[in-house]
Structure 1
Amino acid sequence: MLNKIKKFTKLSSEEKKLFLEAYVTLGIMRAAILTVSFKRLTRSLEHLPNKEEIAALNDKENTNAIAVGKAITRAAEYTPWESACLVQSLAAQKMLQKRGIPGVFYLGAAKDKESEEKMKAHAWSQCGNTIITGDGVHEEFTVLSVFGWGKE
């Protein structure tokens, strides 16, 4: 526990604020996933074709989007609840839309390598050409749905 506190105190004030916002937003999104239908959760988003062109970001927007993604990823490691990829993607959407940064989040599926009968799912978010959350394994998944948001 002391180690976690030391890590937190070494963050800049902006990183601390983003971390706390991400932590709270992850909690809200986790609760929403457990209590609200997915259709209702995504009702404010635009359902896009799979090959939709993603809006380019200026340098400031890109820097802010990356900072939000890092804060979400960092905060997700410390939540006492499960903050898997869908929770992180929805949190990213809320935090980025609040900042007027457009983006998309993807839902994908792939066959589970361990069992041919099972499928696995993954969600990831992207702004411009940058993967914000869910990076690393998203290439393994076939995109099933794309949801976008613009500037508020």
Structure 2
Amino acid sequence: MGKNIRESAMKEDIIKLETAGRIGRVVETVSRYTPWESKCLVQAIVGKIMLRRRGINNTLYLGVGRDEGKSLVAHAWLRCGEMIITGSQGRERFAAVGKFADDGGYGESN
């Protein structure tokens, strides 16, 4: 998944950010049509793999929070630079408990 408990840089090249944004939109669109459930964790992992293959730095976050009924719920989101690529909706309700950074190396063992 990446280097545990590390984050990628908040600054990223504009071309890489544009590519990351396109990847996020594709992942979100395709997730609506898969024959299986493609919720936030699946979307974040797929986006992470696509960014890694292109050598683009990113961080996958795992978070926990409470829903309206006070039950514990989880969420995952993916960041590149200052841009949230997947899982942006409602993420402010979650505290990050895991962070997995990629430094952009394709095939890097993390």
TM-score (norm 1): 0.66
Is 1:123 matched with 2:70?
Answer: no
Task: Indicate conservation of the 8 Å contact 1:103/1:148, yes or no.
Answer: yes
Partner Cα separation in structure 2 for residue 87 and residue 112 of structure 1: 20
The match for 2:66 among 111, 135, 138 is 111
Partner Cα separation in structure 1 for residue 60 and residue 99 of structure 2: 6
Q: CA deviation at 1:59?
A: 1.1
Q: Secondary structure at the match of 2:12?
A: coil
RMSD: 1.2
Determine what percentage of the aligned residue pairs are the same residue: 33
The match for 1:61 among 16, 20, 38 is 16
Counterpart of 1:63, as a letter, is: E
Counterpart of 1:109, as a letter, is: V
Which is greater in Rg?
Answer: 1
Task: Indicate conservation of the 8 Å contact 1:55/1:102, yes or no.
Answer: no
Q: RCO greater where, 1 or 2, for CA within 8 Å and sep 6 or more?
A: 2
The structure carrying a bigger helix percent of its residues is: 1
Aligned length: 105
Query: Within 5 A, what are the aligned runs for 1:44-123?
Result: 45-49=2-6, 52=7, 54-114=9-69, 116=70, 118-123=71-76
Q: CA deviation at 1:112?
A: 1.9
Cα deviations by residue, 1:40-90 (Å, 9 ceiling, x for unpaired): xx3xx10125xx462421111000000000000000011110001000000
Partner Cα separation in structure 2 for residue 89 and residue 75 of structure 1: 13
Task: Indicate conservation of the 8 Å contact 1:69/1:132, yes or no.
Answer: yes
Give unmatched runs, 5+ long, in structure 1. 1-41
